[in-house]
Chains A and B, each alone.
Chain A
Amino acid sequence: AQKITQTQPGMFVQEKEAVTLDCTYDTSDPSYGLFWYKQPSSGEMIFLIYQGSYDQQNATEGRYSLNFQKARKSANLVISASQLGDSAMYFCAMREHPRASGTYKYIFGTGTRLKVLA
C-alpha cells in the first residue's frame, strides 16, 4: 500500500505568490517523521523541512512552512513569496519508527513538479 501520496503531478505559481503542495501519508506507528525535499533539474535532493509526529507546532524554515494536520494525516508544504529558483520537483517523505531489523526507512512520494512563472 502506498504510504505517501502526492496528488498534484504539476503545479504553476506566479512569482511572489504563495503555493501549497499537498501530501498525505498513512502509518499505524505513533512515532514518525515527515520531510520535504526539493530536487532541481540538476538532480540533487535538498532537504527543506522536518515535522515530527509529536511536534505541537507546525515547522517553519524561512519561506517554507509545513501545514501538519495529524488527524487528517496530511503534511502540506507551503512556500511563500515564490521565486523563480523554486522551480523544481518536490518530494514528501516519511520515516517510520525503526523496524524489527533496526532500519530507519524513509518512504518517498511520487513528487510534484512546481513551475514558478515570471
Chain B
Amino acid sequence: DTGVSQDPRHKITKRGQNVTFRCDPISEHNRLYWYRQTLGQGPEFLTYFQNEAQLEKSRLLSDRFSAERPKGSFSTLEIQRTEQGDSAMYLCASSFSGTGRSGELFFGEGSRLTVL
C-alpha cells in the first residue's frame, strides 16, 4: 500500500467553475477526513466519513461543498461555483479504528486549489 493519494495535486480554476478532488485512502482504513489548510495555518476540519457514512460536516462547509464516499472506499470533495476564498490546500486523511493503535491520521499530499 502506497499510502493516501490525492488527485489532482494542483488545480487552477476561474471563479464560478466547479472543481472535484479525489482521495484514495489506505485500503484498510475505515475513517476518512477532509481538511482545508490556508497559508500559515493549521488544517481545519471539513468533514468526516466512517465507512460510507458522512457523520459530520463543519460549519465551514457551505452548501457549495459536497463530499461523498461511495462504498466506503475513495472519496470526492466537490466545490461548486468556486470563489477566490476557496483557494487553499485540501488535505485528505485516513485512519484505522482498530484497537491497540493510536489512531493517527495518515495524510495525502494534498490538492492545492487556486481560484483566479
**Chain A interfacial positions (CB closer than 8 Å to B):** 4, 33, 35, 37, 42-47, 50, 52, 91, 93, 95, 99, 101-111
16 contacts between A and B (CB under 8 A): A4-B42, A33-B102, A35-B102, A35-B104, A37-B107, A45-B107, A52-B102, A91-B42, A101-B56, A103-B56, A106-B45, A106-B105, A107-B45, A109-B42, A111-B40, A111-B42
Question: What chain A residues lie within 8 Å of B112 (beta carbons)?
Answer: 43
Known: A101-B55, A103-B55, A105-B45. A95 touches B109 (CB 8 A): no
- Whether, in the assembled complex, B89 has its beta carbon less than 8 Å from a beta carbon of chain A, the answer is yes
Complex Cα distance A109/B40, Å?
11
Tell me how far the C-beta of B82 lies from the nearest C-beta in chain A, rounded to whole angstroms.
20
A-B contact count (CB 8 A): 67
Tell me how far the C-beta of A54 lies from the nearest C-beta in chain B, rounded to whole angstroms.
12
Tell me how far the C-beta of B23 lies from the nearest C-beta in chain A, rounded to whole angstroms.
13
- Whether, in the assembled complex, B16 has its beta carbon less than 8 Å from a beta carbon of chain A, the answer is no
Size of chain B's interface in residues, with CB distance under 8 A?
A: 28
Complex Cα distance A11/B104, Å?
25
Question: Interface code B38-71, partner A: CB below 8 Å = 1, 0 otherwise?
Answer: 0011111100101000011000000000000000
Q: Are A43 and B110 in contact (CB under 8 A)?
A: yes
Question: What chain B residues lie within 8 Å of A99 (beta carbons)?
Answer: 56
B44 closest partner in A (C-beta): A108
Q: Are B105 and A45 in contact (CB under 8 A)?
A: yes
Q: Are B31 and A104 in contact (CB under 8 A)?
A: yes
Q: Are B109 and A33 in contact (CB under 8 A)?
A: no
Complex Cα distance A35/B103, Å?
10
